Structure 1
Amino acid sequence: MKKLICSLLIALPLTTHASSTLRCDSGLISLQDSTSIVSSKCGEPISREFVGYREVQDEYGFYNEVAVEEWAYGPRNGMFQFLRFEGNRLIKIDSKRGR
C-alpha cells in the first residue's frame, strides 16, 4: 500500500489546494469530523497510513499524545483528496490534481 501512495505522490504536481469541507457520495465532511463520520460518508479510502504520534495541548493546558493518520481518496474528476487526522479528528483536507 505504501508503494501505491508513493506512486500517487510522484505522479502529482506540487500544487495543493486546502479546504475546510469535502463533498463525498453520502454528504459533506468538515474539519473536526471524526474518523467514523468520514468513513460512513466517504467509504473506505484507497489508502490509510499511520504516520505516528503528535503531542497536542488541550484547553486546560495539559499535553496529550494523539495518533496521526493520513487517508487518501480518489481520483474523482482527476483529483485526489488527502485527509489528515489527529486523535481521530479531521484536521486537514488537501486536494491534488493527477496528471
Structure 2
Amino acid sequence: MRLRYLLLALSCLTWPASAWADTFRCGSQLVNTGDRAFEVERACGEPQIRDLVGYALSPNERREAVIEEWVYGPRNGMFNILTFEANRLIRIETRRAQ
C-alpha cells in the first residue's frame, strides 16, 4: 500500500507544468488544431500577445512557413498558448500563471 502511494507521489512530481490539447474554448466557441488564424481570431478575438517565433521549411524545403504564438489569458489562473505554422493552428498549450 505504501509503495502505491509512493508511486502516485512520484508520478505527480513528474507531471508536466503544461499540457497540450486539441481544442480550446473561447466563450461559447471551440477552436481546434488545424483551424486557420482568421477563424481563431474571429472566435476568440485579438490575443493578449502575438509573437513571431521563427520560420520552418516546408517538406520539400522550398518555402518558408511563419511560426507564431498567440497568448490568451490569464483566465482562471491559466494561460493558453496557441502555436500557428503557415497560419494553421498546430498546437494548443495550457500553462498555469505564476
Please give the TM-score of this superposition, normalised by the length of structure 1: 0.78
Aligned residues: 82
Report the counterpart of residue 11 of structure 1 in structure 2: none
Please name the residue that 2:45 is paired with.
43
What runs of 5+ residues in structure 2 fail to find an aligned partner?
A: 1-15
User: What is the SS of the residue equivalent to 1:36?
Assistant: helix
Q: Is the 8 A contact 1:16 1:96 kept in 2?
A: yes
Aligned structure 1 segments of 4 or more residues deviating by more than 2 angstroms: none
CA distance in 2, matches of 1:91, 1:34: 10
Paired position in structure 1 for 2:72: 73
- Structure index of larger Rg: 2
* RCO higher in structure (CA 8 A, sep ≥6): 1
1:19-38 matches, within 5 Å, as 19-38=21-40
1:15-73 Cα deviation digits (max 9, x unpaired):
0010000000240000010000000000010000111110121xxxx333100100000
Runs of at least 5 residues in structure 1 that lack an aligned partner in the other structure: 1-13
1:26/1:42 contact within 8 Å kept: no
> 1: CA distance between counterparts of 2:58 and 2:30?
27
- In 1: Cα distance, 2:48 partner to 2:32 partner: 19
The CA distance in 2 between the partners of 1:56 and 1:30, in whole Å, is: 22
- Matched residue type, 2:50: R
